[in-house]
Amino acid sequence: MGKYFKYAIGEILLVVIGILIALQINNWNENRKNRAQEQEILTQLFSEYGSNLEQIESKISLRDDVIKSCIKLLSYTQNPPENLSPDSIDYHLSRVVLRPTFDPQLGVSNELINSGKLYLLSNPQLRNSISSYPSFLKELNEEEMNIFRITEEQLFPFLVANYQIGGLSTQFLFDEELRLRFTIGKELSDFSDLEDLIPKADFTNLLSHPDFEDHIARILGMTPYTNEQSIGVRTKTQEILELITSSQKQRDD
Protein backbone atom coordinates (compact mmCIF):
# COMPACT_ATOMS: atom_id res chain seq x y z
CA MET A 1 0.00 0.00 0.00
CA GLY A 2 2.86 2.33 0.81
CA LYS A 3 4.39 1.80 -2.61
CA TYR A 4 1.02 2.28 -4.28
CA PHE A 5 0.44 5.45 -2.31
CA LYS A 6 3.82 6.85 -3.32
CA TYR A 7 3.13 5.91 -6.91
CA ALA A 8 -0.25 7.69 -6.79
CA ILE A 9 1.33 10.80 -5.27
CA GLY A 10 3.95 10.76 -7.98
CA GLU A 11 1.31 10.48 -10.68
CA ILE A 12 -0.63 13.37 -9.17
CA LEU A 13 2.51 15.50 -9.00
CA LEU A 14 3.28 14.76 -12.63
CA VAL A 15 -0.25 15.75 -13.64
CA VAL A 16 -0.06 18.97 -11.59
CA ILE A 17 3.34 19.82 -13.02
CA GLY A 18 2.02 19.13 -16.53
CA ILE A 19 -0.95 21.38 -15.93
CA LEU A 20 1.28 24.15 -14.55
CA ILE A 21 3.61 23.87 -17.52
CA ALA A 22 0.66 23.96 -19.92
CA LEU A 23 -0.76 27.02 -18.15
CA GLN A 24 2.63 28.70 -18.25
CA ILE A 25 2.98 28.02 -21.97
CA ASN A 26 -0.56 29.23 -22.56
CA ASN A 27 0.12 32.40 -20.55
CA TRP A 28 3.34 32.96 -22.45
CA ASN A 29 1.55 32.56 -25.78
CA GLU A 30 -1.25 34.86 -24.63
CA ASN A 31 1.22 37.50 -23.47
CA ARG A 32 3.11 37.22 -26.75
CA LYS A 33 -0.13 37.73 -28.70
CA ASN A 34 -1.11 40.67 -26.48
CA ARG A 35 2.27 42.34 -26.93
CA ALA A 36 2.09 41.87 -30.69
CA GLN A 37 -1.40 43.33 -30.66
CA GLU A 38 -0.18 46.18 -28.47
CA GLN A 39 2.48 47.09 -31.03
CA GLU A 40 -0.13 47.20 -33.76
CA ILE A 41 -2.39 49.36 -31.60
CA LEU A 42 0.48 51.71 -30.73
CA THR A 43 1.19 52.21 -34.42
CA GLN A 44 -2.47 53.03 -35.06
CA LEU A 45 -2.62 55.38 -32.09
CA PHE A 46 0.53 57.18 -33.22
CA SER A 47 -1.07 57.81 -36.61
CA GLU A 48 -4.34 58.92 -34.98
CA TYR A 49 -2.81 61.40 -32.55
CA GLY A 50 -0.29 62.55 -35.14
CA SER A 51 -3.24 63.58 -37.32
CA ASN A 52 -4.88 65.24 -34.33
CA LEU A 53 -1.72 67.21 -33.59
CA GLU A 54 -1.48 68.36 -37.20
CA GLN A 55 -5.14 69.43 -37.14
CA ILE A 56 -4.99 71.30 -33.83
CA GLU A 57 -1.89 73.19 -34.96
CA SER A 58 -3.74 74.18 -38.13
CA LYS A 59 -6.71 75.45 -36.10
CA ILE A 60 -4.41 77.47 -33.84
CA SER A 61 -2.82 79.04 -36.92
CA LEU A 62 -6.24 79.86 -38.40
CA ARG A 63 -7.35 81.52 -35.18
CA ASP A 64 -4.16 83.56 -35.19
CA ASP A 65 -5.29 84.80 -38.61
CA VAL A 66 -8.74 85.59 -37.19
CA ILE A 67 -7.16 87.67 -34.42
CA LYS A 68 -4.94 89.56 -36.87
CA SER A 69 -7.87 90.27 -39.19
CA CYS A 70 -10.07 91.46 -36.31
CA ILE A 71 -7.37 93.92 -35.28
CA LYS A 72 -6.96 95.05 -38.88
CA LEU A 73 -10.70 95.64 -39.35
CA LEU A 74 -10.91 97.59 -36.12
CA SER A 75 -8.07 99.78 -37.34
CA TYR A 76 -9.95 100.30 -40.62
CA THR A 77 -12.81 101.93 -38.73
CA GLN A 78 -10.35 104.71 -37.87
CA ASN A 79 -9.04 105.19 -41.42
CA PRO A 80 -10.47 107.38 -44.16
CA PRO A 81 -12.44 105.22 -46.65
CA GLU A 82 -10.36 106.43 -49.58
CA ASN A 83 -7.31 104.71 -48.08
CA LEU A 84 -9.06 101.32 -48.09
CA SER A 85 -10.09 98.82 -50.73
CA PRO A 86 -13.01 96.35 -50.95
CA ASP A 87 -10.55 93.52 -51.60
CA SER A 88 -8.78 94.19 -48.31
CA ILE A 89 -12.08 94.40 -46.42
CA ASP A 90 -13.27 91.12 -47.95
CA TYR A 91 -9.94 89.45 -47.25
CA HIS A 92 -10.07 90.18 -43.53
CA LEU A 93 -13.80 89.57 -43.16
CA SER A 94 -13.36 86.15 -44.79
CA ARG A 95 -10.95 85.25 -42.00
CA VAL A 96 -13.04 86.67 -39.19
CA VAL A 97 -15.95 84.39 -40.18
CA LEU A 98 -13.80 81.23 -40.46
CA ARG A 99 -14.98 79.75 -37.09
CA PRO A 100 -12.44 76.83 -37.09
CA THR A 101 -13.33 73.80 -34.97
CA PHE A 102 -11.19 70.88 -33.82
CA ASP A 103 -12.67 67.54 -34.95
CA PRO A 104 -10.24 64.90 -33.67
CA GLN A 105 -9.86 61.38 -35.01
CA LEU A 106 -10.66 59.06 -32.11
CA GLY A 107 -11.69 55.86 -33.89
CA VAL A 108 -8.88 53.71 -32.48
CA SER A 109 -9.14 55.25 -29.00
CA ASN A 110 -12.91 54.81 -28.82
CA GLU A 111 -12.64 51.21 -30.03
CA LEU A 112 -10.14 50.42 -27.26
CA ILE A 113 -12.33 52.04 -24.61
CA ASN A 114 -15.67 50.64 -25.79
CA SER A 115 -14.36 47.12 -26.36
CA GLY A 116 -12.58 46.97 -23.01
CA LYS A 117 -9.23 46.37 -24.70
CA LEU A 118 -7.49 49.36 -23.17
CA TYR A 119 -5.74 46.85 -20.89
CA LEU A 120 -3.61 45.81 -23.89
CA LEU A 121 -1.63 49.03 -23.39
CA SER A 122 0.99 48.15 -20.80
CA ASN A 123 1.75 51.79 -19.91
CA PRO A 124 -0.82 52.90 -17.27
CA GLN A 125 -0.10 56.59 -17.92
CA LEU A 126 -0.89 56.12 -21.60
CA ARG A 127 -4.11 54.29 -20.74
CA ASN A 128 -5.21 57.14 -18.47
CA SER A 129 -4.31 59.81 -21.01
CA ILE A 130 -6.25 58.15 -23.82
CA SER A 131 -9.34 57.47 -21.67
CA SER A 132 -9.40 61.09 -20.39
CA TYR A 133 -8.66 62.75 -23.76
CA PRO A 134 -12.33 63.18 -24.88
CA SER A 135 -13.30 64.92 -21.64
CA PHE A 136 -10.20 67.11 -21.93
CA LEU A 137 -11.66 68.49 -25.19
CA LYS A 138 -14.96 69.52 -23.64
CA GLU A 139 -14.10 73.11 -22.72
CA LEU A 140 -12.44 73.76 -26.08
CA ASN A 141 -15.50 72.43 -27.88
CA GLU A 142 -17.78 74.68 -25.82
CA GLU A 143 -15.73 77.77 -26.66
CA GLU A 144 -15.59 76.85 -30.34
CA MET A 145 -19.35 76.41 -30.47
CA ASN A 146 -19.89 79.76 -28.75
CA ILE A 147 -17.92 81.49 -31.50
CA PHE A 148 -19.68 79.39 -34.14
CA ARG A 149 -23.13 80.42 -32.88
CA ILE A 150 -22.22 84.10 -32.56
CA THR A 151 -20.82 84.12 -36.09
CA GLU A 152 -23.78 82.26 -37.61
CA GLU A 153 -26.57 83.89 -35.64
CA GLN A 154 -25.30 87.45 -35.20
CA LEU A 155 -22.30 88.43 -37.31
CA PHE A 156 -23.45 86.90 -40.61
CA PRO A 157 -26.99 88.38 -40.41
CA PHE A 158 -25.46 91.77 -39.60
CA LEU A 159 -23.14 91.57 -42.61
CA VAL A 160 -25.97 90.50 -44.92
CA ALA A 161 -28.05 93.47 -43.76
CA ASN A 162 -25.27 96.05 -44.01
CA TYR A 163 -22.85 94.85 -46.69
CA GLN A 164 -22.68 93.16 -50.07
CA ILE A 165 -21.17 89.83 -49.04
CA GLY A 166 -20.52 88.43 -52.52
CA GLY A 167 -16.81 89.26 -52.36
CA LEU A 168 -16.59 88.00 -48.80
CA SER A 169 -18.40 84.75 -49.60
CA THR A 170 -16.22 83.94 -52.61
CA GLN A 171 -12.94 85.10 -51.10
CA PHE A 172 -12.25 81.52 -50.03
CA LEU A 173 -12.46 80.34 -53.64
CA PHE A 174 -9.85 82.84 -54.79
CA ASP A 175 -7.43 82.37 -51.89
CA GLU A 176 -5.37 79.26 -52.69
CA GLU A 177 -3.22 79.59 -49.58
CA LEU A 178 -6.26 79.49 -47.35
CA ARG A 179 -7.92 76.67 -49.28
CA LEU A 180 -4.82 74.51 -49.00
CA ARG A 181 -5.11 74.70 -45.22
CA PHE A 182 -8.61 73.23 -45.37
CA THR A 183 -8.37 70.83 -48.30
CA ILE A 184 -7.42 67.19 -47.74
CA GLY A 185 -6.14 66.81 -51.30
CA LYS A 186 -3.78 69.31 -52.86
CA GLU A 187 -5.49 69.61 -56.24
CA LEU A 188 -7.48 72.85 -56.25
CA SER A 189 -10.07 73.88 -58.80
CA ASP A 190 -9.67 77.19 -60.58
CA PHE A 191 -12.40 79.73 -59.82
CA SER A 192 -10.61 82.80 -61.13
CA ASP A 193 -13.27 83.32 -63.84
CA LEU A 194 -15.78 84.10 -61.11
CA GLU A 195 -13.94 87.19 -59.89
CA ASP A 196 -15.34 89.38 -62.66
CA LEU A 197 -18.87 88.30 -61.75
CA ILE A 198 -18.65 89.67 -58.20
CA PRO A 199 -19.10 93.46 -57.98
CA LYS A 200 -16.93 95.45 -55.61
CA ALA A 201 -18.81 96.17 -52.41
CA ASP A 202 -19.34 99.58 -50.84
CA PHE A 203 -17.89 99.23 -47.37
CA THR A 204 -18.40 102.83 -46.20
CA ASN A 205 -21.65 102.20 -44.32
CA LEU A 206 -20.34 98.97 -42.85
CA LEU A 207 -17.24 100.51 -41.29
CA SER A 208 -19.17 103.48 -39.95
CA HIS A 209 -21.96 101.36 -38.50
CA PRO A 210 -21.79 101.55 -34.67
CA ASP A 211 -22.48 97.81 -34.30
CA PHE A 212 -19.67 96.71 -36.63
CA GLU A 213 -16.99 97.43 -34.07
CA ASP A 214 -19.00 95.59 -31.40
CA HIS A 215 -19.32 92.43 -33.50
CA ILE A 216 -15.63 92.37 -34.44
CA ALA A 217 -14.52 93.19 -30.90
CA ARG A 218 -16.64 90.34 -29.55
CA ILE A 219 -14.98 87.82 -31.87
CA LEU A 220 -11.61 89.29 -30.99
CA GLY A 221 -12.35 88.95 -27.28
CA MET A 222 -13.32 85.27 -27.51
CA THR A 223 -10.80 83.92 -30.01
CA PRO A 224 -7.58 84.27 -27.95
CA TYR A 225 -9.11 82.33 -25.04
CA THR A 226 -10.26 79.61 -27.42
CA ASN A 227 -6.74 79.45 -28.80
CA GLU A 228 -5.35 79.08 -25.29
CA GLN A 229 -7.63 76.06 -24.84
CA SER A 230 -6.34 74.73 -28.18
CA ILE A 231 -2.76 75.13 -27.04
CA GLY A 232 -3.62 73.05 -23.97
CA VAL A 233 -5.07 70.35 -26.22
CA ARG A 234 -1.96 70.49 -28.39
CA THR A 235 0.23 69.95 -25.31
CA LYS A 236 -1.95 67.02 -24.22
CA THR A 237 -1.76 65.50 -27.70
CA GLN A 238 2.03 65.87 -27.76
CA GLU A 239 2.26 64.16 -24.37
CA ILE A 240 0.24 61.20 -25.66
CA LEU A 241 2.49 60.91 -28.72
CA GLU A 242 5.54 60.91 -26.46
CA LEU A 243 4.01 58.16 -24.30
CA ILE A 244 3.25 56.10 -27.41
CA THR A 245 6.80 56.51 -28.68
CA SER A 246 8.18 55.57 -25.26
CA SER A 247 5.99 52.44 -25.16
CA GLN A 248 7.13 51.43 -28.63
CA LYS A 249 10.77 51.78 -27.68
CA GLN A 250 10.29 49.71 -24.52
CA ARG A 251 8.80 46.89 -26.55
CA ASP A 252 11.65 47.07 -29.07
CA ASP A 253 14.19 46.83 -26.25
Chain segment 23-55, per-residue pLDDT in tens: 776 666 666 676 788 899 999 999 999 999 999
How high is the pLDDT of residue 42? 95
**CA–CA distance, 203 with 88 (Å, rounded to integer):** 10
The domain tally of the chain equals: 1
| Domain membership of residue 188 as a residue range | 2-252
Tell me the Ramachandran region of residue 116: left when phi exceeds 0, alpha when psi lies from -120 to 50, beta otherwise: left
Q: Using an 8 Å Cβ cutoff, are 92 and 73 in contact? A: yes
Q: What is the pLDDT of residues 66-104, one digit of tens each?
A: 999 999 999 999 888 788 888 899 999 999 999 999 999
Share of the chain above pLDDT 90, in %: 57
pLDDT, tens only, 148-192: 999 999 999 999 999 988 888 888 777 878 777 777 666 767 776
Segment 128-139, tens digit of pLDDT: 999 999 988 999
pTM of structure = 0.83
Give me the pLDDT at residue 234, please: 97
